[in-house]
Amino acid sequence: MGYVLVATENELQDRLANGGCRVAAGMTDMYPSGQLPGSTESVVDISQVSSLRDISCTDGAWRIGTTVRWSDVRVYPWPAGLEMLAEVASQVGAVQVQNAATVGGNLCNASPAADGMPVLLALGATVELWSVRGVREMLLSDFITGVRRTALEPGEYLRAICFKNNEDAVASAFCKLGLRQYLVISIAMAAGQLRCDSAGCVSGISLALGACSPVATRLSDIEASIVGKPVSKSLIDEVTAERVASVISPIDDVRATAAYRRDAAVHVLRDTLARLVEAVA
Amino acid sequence: MKVSLTLNGQETSIDDLSGAERLSSVLRESCGARDVKVGCEAGDCGACTVLVDGEAMNACIVPVAQVANRHVETAAGLHRNGDPDAVRVASAFDAGGAVQCGICFPGFLTSLVALKRQQSQPTEAEITDALGGVLCRCSGYRKLIDAAVSACDGSVPRTECDALAGSVGDAVARVDGLPRITGDQIFGDDIAPADALRLRVLRSPHARARFTIGDTQSWVSHHPGVELVLTASDVPGVNRYGVLPGFEDQPVFAESEARFRGEAVAAVVGEKAVIEGLDLNDFPVTWEPLDALVDMPSARKPSADALHAHAAENILCRGRVEKGDVTSALASAEFIKRGTFETGFVEHAYIEPEAGYASFDGERVSVFGCTQAPVMDQEALAGILDLRLAQLRIVPTAVGGGFGSKLDLSFQPFVALAAMRLKRAVRMCYSRQESMQSSTKRHPSRIELSIGATRDGYLTACDFDGEFNTGAYASWGPTVANRVPVHASGPYAYPHYRARTTGVYTNNPPAGAFRGFGVPQAAIALELLLDEMADELGLDPLAFRQKNALQNNVPTATGQCFSQGVGISACFDALAPHWQSLNAEAAAFNNESAPRYRRGVGLAGGWYGCGNTSMPNPSTIKSALRADGGVVLHQGAVDIGQGSNTVIAQIFATAVGCSLHALELISADTDITPDAGKTSASRQTFISGNAARLSGLSLRRELLAALGAPDDADLVFDPNLTGARLGDAFWPFDASALPLDNAGYVICVEESYDPPTAPLDENGQGEPYAQFGYAAHLVMLTVDTALGTVELNKIVAAHDVGKAINPILVEGQVHGGVAQGVGMALMEAYVPGQSEDLHNYLIPTIGDVPPIESLIVEVPDAHGAHGAKGLGEHVLIPTAPAILNGIRRATGARLRAIPATPDAILTALRGDELVEE
């Protein structure tokens, strides 16, 4: 057991090759457990590995390094269609948390209420994983397998989050519902991105809900029902309680009942869609 | 490993680190930066915010290795080094009355400096975003926002407040504001000597369990560095304490059965590293979990086990106030409203966990730390430790928020006992979890209320029956049971009245004192029913309340008739223009906006008796003159952030006839300050203020006599006493003519004040308080009827304070009470095992408290110093019912329980719940 701060990916890879350690960066979820990192399992702190901390874009292919912090995402000059990344970043905890917590940590921690999940799901993000066996890519939706569970294998780490941003993406939005303004865990949240063609019809839409099921989820039925239709407020009617209920499985917890979440999910999703429509109009 | 960093501009290295140590801990314990305050150790409160290369970080969740070779700046360091942003912001916070207890303010200061460096002219929205990561439980944030805005736009109104002499009525900055802002203030965990041993408490993981403790000696021998284990058998005196005579039922360590989750069963003591690193899971204790009585219905079942042998049916005590014939009056009432209301545990959630240390010199035990009641601590510890009072010295540090909970013992018996046994200084600081598990809470309540009225809107009868869940131990449960019946009437008159209360033991953390002693819960029931009754009678809610408001010479529920000083009508009058204009604004909004969003204005009144209920409640204040002519105030009242250090000194300075700034202030220490009573019951301005005034007048008399000057001469200070003047005559001060006492004083006086009250008879009739303070709030809010969320738009709070000794501190109290009312109404729910941290137990952030307009009403009270009335608890009482009434007026949703979460509001909107009416 122990804690070690590594400076390079090579060092990290050496540590992982030896096995039996957990990767961490922002530590915002590690300390609250009450034990210092490294006291119950070996921890490799990758927060200072500079090669993992870039946001880059090549030919419309975006890559967010795993230790990019939410404050980096908050201030990044995102183009149209990716504004929701800055929006969600500004709602992760508060400034202090955003200055520590990382995008990769948010995903690997695999909380059902991870703020980053619906946004990155709506972007169809993939994750790049590294191990001595090689690099593999998988869909984010396959990477998170359950509450606090991911597809990470022993000796493997999340290196980057990747997504394409189609040039015709015109708007994105993120809506978070919590019991207070700052430092709050979502009761429900939604993210969406809208693309439209020259005729003013929806050429593509992606919608996702978080905190309403063990893993955040896309609303593919609703998306399918919207594509091809003219962009107008009536699109919101496609978000029906039945369609939403069919893909979520909310729980009762200290923040809200499952029944409330089922209702709220519909409204949060409609609000998100309304904002997308408004942005285009 | 060794970590080198630049701390506040100084190169610093720390050796022997694993690297994973919390930066907050290393800064505090290895670098001496005790200005880094720790509230949660989980990144939930932001008090420990420091700048790392200019960025705001929660030092409690930063591994120290991450800051190697980086620049770390702390609040006091920034200020000490003259950082221009820090100096400007601190000055604005101070002059603007932003700070109260101050435990969180280093977090605000550093966070704002970080923003200012990125952006020289931030907007208000950017400021709140930058400060959103710091929780404050005292201030209500609004003055902090105003001060931050002024600091950022350069208009600091500093000179105006500094020019004031600090007399009664002056809105002077608090006497101890700046160190509270920079973190230089010493709180409970900031004072222990470097070599103090650490103590940790082992607590029950079960709400109810029998337990046996095994071979602790063998355990100690397997844990080198552990110097001592303490259990119930180590308590030399009586292993029972309580805050009220006759109700001492709480053990320091449970003896064979733990009665709530979080109850102490043992303590371990040793060197810091050893104790912090201990895994207490192998401590030799065997648990046998038992069925817990988790709520009042289960505790009151005839088959329920008794928590305490002395309490049949798990009833702690009952209270009653009765006049007239309420049963017949309700039977014949032209109009009746009935309702059943429920509230849950509310956590005080002060940002400073319980902390302090004790030392023992072979004869005397000294305890340093946060407390609201030093003399009560002294008395309780004497019984527990089997010591004489004179063998105990209690020195309160600054208190990082108390709100009633730090009236009860917490860390004190543990460290005192350990210090006695080891003859070493022993220190402890509660973790956030143990603070929340084991400290007292607001009593959950179940209230049945019926009120009767005539068709034309005169109240005829009020029948109140309330059960209050006191948890596993009495604490202040009897006070709640006695105070509530006196206050459940609200500030209204009824010919017929009956209020009965029952305190019930359950397997929960003890419920104790929390700003209002049960009255806020009772006010919710009454003010909601009054509001509904007004609507059903077709009366304006404000006019209906006015019609029934208590007046001078109108008897209260206890038959007490005040010939003066009744100020509730004046509060309602003050609100009247706002009631009109905000209702008009809400109506206009509702006409214009989508039906999903509904706006409403809610109203509620309140009153609160200042001081103990029908019991002696004196304060004594000592003052003196030094040989150099300096005036010294020995002030034993503990300032828990509300500002008594300033207010009491203002009253005293005015009585003496000198400037506040000329005083030497000596704060509470049971060795050198006489007993000014506990900081509770809204009594310090009223009672200790009166004692300070008497002490000041007495000192002035003695000074004039010593100078040989007539009684109507003016004392002359520059800044110390130089003499007395009357017209052209001058009597110079000559210390050599006066004998010097042991303390170095040439004149020393001591005066006491005890408010006149009279016992309550068997029907609860009598004169429980010498004075009441009065309050009325209105809230404009908007409900999203799809999500059930509430946006508070504005709060107007009218308070009759008799005389505002310091208007800026009055407003600070109002803002802070309102913010706690907001939390209680909308989001706060303490559930043992589920919300034992500030992550899951939500209190309002800077974004959750709307603009507050504070209307200071001054209906002088004959007993108050300069007419002043107490205020500390009044400020919380009307807020929650005003919010709930606002929700109903906006949407029709009738709530019968708090918190009114979005979930609960939607349920109420559907009307699923209400069947009783």
Name the minimum distance, in Å, from the CA of B789 to any CA of chain A. Answer: 8
Q: Residue A205: which pLDDT band, with cuts at 50, 70 and 90?
A: very high
Name the minimum distance, in Å, from the CA of B130 to any CA of chain A. Answer: 6
Q: Token pair of A225, please?
A: 């029902």
Q: Token pair of B718, please?
A: 């520059």
Instruction: Mention the CATH class of domain A169-280.
Output: alpha beta
Residue segments in chain B with a per-residue pLDDT below the cut of 70? 155-159, 912-917
pLDDT given for residue A43 in this prediction:
95
Q: Does B913 touch chain A (CB under 8 A)?
A: no
- Cα separation values, B186 from A268, B174, B594, Å: 46, 16, 52
- Across the interface, whether the CB atoms of B55 and A180 are under 8 A apart is answered no
pLDDT given for residue A169 in this prediction:
72
Q: Would you say residue B381 lies in a domain?
A: no
- Measured in degrees and rounded to the nearest 5, phi and psi for residue A205 equal -145, 145
Name the minimum distance, in Å, from the CA of B911 to any CA of chain A. Answer: 15
Residues 6+ apart with CB under 8 A from A270: A236, A239
**Which residue shows structure tokens 């929960």?**
B508
If asked whether residues B654 and B744 sit together in one domain, one would say yes
What single-letter amino acid sits at B327?
T
If asked whether residues B590 and B548 sit together in one domain, one would say yes
Cis omega (within 30 of 0) for bond into B878: no
Residues B817, B823, B824: CA angle, nearest 5 degrees: 85
Q: pLDDT (tens digit, 9 = 90+) per residue, A147-203?
A: 999 999 999 999 999 999 877 778 999 999 999 999 999 999 999 999 999 999 999
**Sequence spans of domains, chain A:** 1-49, 169-280
pLDDT given for residue B470 in this prediction:
98
Of residues A36, A47, A181, nearest to B132 (C-beta): A181
- Across the interface, whether the CB atoms of A180 and B135 are under 8 A apart is answered no
Q: Would you say residue B447 lies in a domain?
A: no
If asked whether residues B666 and B811 sit together in one domain, one would say no
Q: Does B877 touch chain A (CB under 8 A)?
A: no
- Across the interface, whether the CB atoms of A183 and B133 are under 8 A apart is answered yes
pLDDT given for residue B915 in this prediction:
47
Q: Would you say residue B192 lies in a domain?
A: no
pLDDT given for residue B158 in this prediction:
65
Of residues B20, B57, B827, nearest to A100 (C-beta): B57
**CA B499, chain centre distance (Å):** 27
If asked whether residues B33 and B79 sit together in one domain, one would say yes
pLDDT given for residue B161 in this prediction:
73
Q: Would you say residue B683 lies in a domain?
A: yes
The helix/strand/coil state of B102 is: coil
Name the minimum distance, in Å, from the CA of B838 to any CA of chain A. Answer: 10
Task: Flag whether the ipTM exceeds 0.90.
Answer: yes
Residue-range definition of the domain harbouring residue B43: 1-184
Q: Would you say residue B159 lies in a domain?
A: yes
Residues from A in contact with B at Cβ < 8 Å:
2-5, 27-28, 30-32, 34, 36-39, 43, 45, 47-48, 71, 90, 93-97, 99-100, 177, 179-185, 187, 254, 256-257, 260, 263-264, 267-268
Name the minimum distance, in Å, from the CA of A56 to any CA of chain B. Answer: 23
Closest A-chain CA to B127: A95
- Across the interface, whether the CB atoms of A27 and B61 are under 8 A apart is answered yes
Residues 6+ apart with CB under 8 A from B718: none
Domain boundary among B184, B214, B246: B184
Contacts with A, B 800-829, CB within 8 Å: 826-827, 829
- Across the interface, whether the CB atoms of B61 and A3 are under 8 A apart is answered no
pLDDT given for residue A155 in this prediction:
93
Nearest CA to B696 out of B743, B630, B651, B746 is that of: B651
- Across the interface, whether the CB atoms of B906 and A43 are under 8 A apart is answered no
pLDDT given for residue B916 in this prediction:
45
Residue scoring higher pLDDT (B781 or A281): B781
Residue scoring higher pLDDT (A33 or B231): B231
What's the rounded Cα separation, in Å, for the pair B895 and B911? Answer: 9
Provide the domain count of chain B: 3
pLDDT given for residue B326 in this prediction:
98
If asked whether residues B11 and B141 sit together in one domain, one would say yes
What's the rounded Cα separation, in Å, for the pair B199 and B359? Answer: 13
- Find chain A residues with C-beta within 8 A of B43's C-beta: 28, 31-32, 93, 96-97, 100
Q: Would you say residue B420 lies in a domain?
A: no
If asked whether residues B11 and B143 sit together in one domain, one would say yes
Q: Would you say residue B111 lies in a domain?
A: yes
* CB-based contact A68:A26 (threshold 8 Å): no
Residues 6+ apart with CB under 8 A from B423: B360, B362
Closest A-chain CA to B789: A179
Q: Does B57 touch chain A (CB under 8 A)?
A: yes
Q: pLDDT (tens digit, 9 = 90+) per residue, B774-816?
A: 999 999 999 999 999 999 999 999 999 999 999 999 999 999 9
pLDDT given for residue B917 in this prediction:
42
**H or E stretch including B275?**
helix B272-277
CATH number at residue B124: 3.10.20.30
If asked whether residues B17 and B148 sit together in one domain, one would say yes
Of residues A45, A180, A268, nearest to B844 (C-beta): A180
Q: Does B122 touch chain A (CB under 8 A)?
A: no
Name the minimum distance, in Å, from the CA of A137 to any CA of chain B. Answer: 30
If asked whether residues B180 and B146 sit together in one domain, one would say yes
Name the minimum distance, in Å, from the CA of A156 to any CA of chain B. Answer: 22
Q: Would you say residue B117 lies in a domain?
A: yes
What's the rounded Cα separation, in Å, for the pair A169 and A153? Answer: 34
Query: Chains A and B: how many Cβ contacts under 8 Å?
Result: 143
If asked whether residues B825 and B691 sit together in one domain, one would say no
If asked whether residues B149 and B39 sit together in one domain, one would say yes
- Measured in degrees and rounded to the nearest 5, phi and psi for residue A70 equal -65, -30
What's the rounded Cα separation, in Å, for the pair B289 and B206? Answer: 6
CATH number at residue B653: 3.30.365.10
Nearest CA to B236 out of B357, B354, B365, B361 is that of: B365
If asked whether residues B3 and B99 sit together in one domain, one would say yes
If asked whether residues B552 and B663 sit together in one domain, one would say no
Nearest CA to B402 out of B681, B729, B83 is that of: B681
